[in-house]
């Protein structure tokens, strides 16, 4: 059977980080806010009933951790994960979209025979996020496949997005979200 649309994506660590950072921004804000709320919940009673200085110190430490340290740790983790993923060589991912499923093959550049291959039904996809350069195809709330929209070898990325929509997948246009 011939594929309706095809794409070969070559992942670039620095480019990809910019989009990953944008995707986790909401999570970072939520986690920071939750940590700050817990800190206030602990430090206020401490200041009122035990020692005001202890409560104030606890509040300052919590604020620094939630506003500075937590975002740094999350972003650093993403950078380290990308460094580990791209440490040996660049990765080429080939997508082939059919009417009822799509197939993904990944291989490291320079390795002629080593490939990982996976097939997905469109019902397995939780959402698709479109950016100027990349399309993130989510197979779970925190796991996505990355398609470089510039490297379509058959069809267009817009046609691929329409194919996802026709199968009931939520497609989110974030083309103006990342500069």
Write down all domains in the chain, each with its CATH number in brackets.
15-85 (no CATH), 90-173 (2.30.29)
Q: Which residues contact 116 (CB under 8 A, 6 or more apart)?
A: 105, 106, 107
According to the model, what pLDDT value does residue 114 have? 57
Span between the terminal Cα atoms of the chain, in Å: 39
What secondary structure, in 3-state letters, does 116-169 show? EEEEEEHHHCCEEEECCCEEEEEEECCEEEEEEHHHEEECCHHHHHHHHHHCCC
According to the model, what pLDDT value does residue 101 have? 94
Residue 91 to residue 133: CA distance in whole angstroms: 17
Give strand pairing partners of 140.
Answer: 143
According to the model, what pLDDT value does residue 89 have? 57
According to the model, what pLDDT value does residue 16 have? 67
Q: For each of the chain's 179 residues, which pLDDT tens digit applies?
A: 798 999 888 776 666 676 677 667 778 888 888 888 898 888 888 888 888 888 888 889 988 888 888 888 888 887 777 666 665 556 788 999 999 999 998 876 655 555 678 999 999 999 999 988 889 999 988 788 889 999 999 999 999 999 999 999 999 998 876 55
Torsion of CA 95, 166, 18, 150, to 10 degrees: 50
pTM given for the model: 0.64
According to the model, what pLDDT value does residue 99 have? 94
């Amino acid at each position: 059977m011939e594929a309706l649309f095809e794409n070969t994506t070559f992942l670039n660590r620095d480019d990809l980080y910019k989009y990953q950072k944008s995707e986790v921004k909401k999570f970072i804000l939520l986690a920071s806010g939750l940590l700050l709320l817990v800190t206030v919940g602990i430090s206020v009673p401490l200041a009122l009933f035990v020692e005001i200085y202890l409560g104030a110190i606890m509040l300052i430490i919590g604020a620094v951790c939630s506003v500075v340290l937590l975002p740094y740790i999350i972003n650093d983790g993403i950078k380290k994960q990308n460094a580990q993923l791209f440490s040996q060589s660049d990765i080429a991912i080939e997508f082939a979209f059919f009417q009822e499923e799509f197939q993904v093959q990944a291989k490291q550049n320079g390795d002629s025979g080593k490939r990982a291959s996976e097939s997905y039904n469109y019902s397995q996809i939780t959402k698709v996020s479109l950016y100027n350069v990349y399309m993130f195809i989510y197979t779970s709330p925190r796991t996505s496949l990355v398609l470089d929209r510039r490297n379509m070898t058959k069809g267009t990325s817009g046609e691929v997005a329409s194919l996802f929509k026709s199968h009931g997948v939520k497609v989110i246009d974030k083309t103006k979200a990342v500069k």
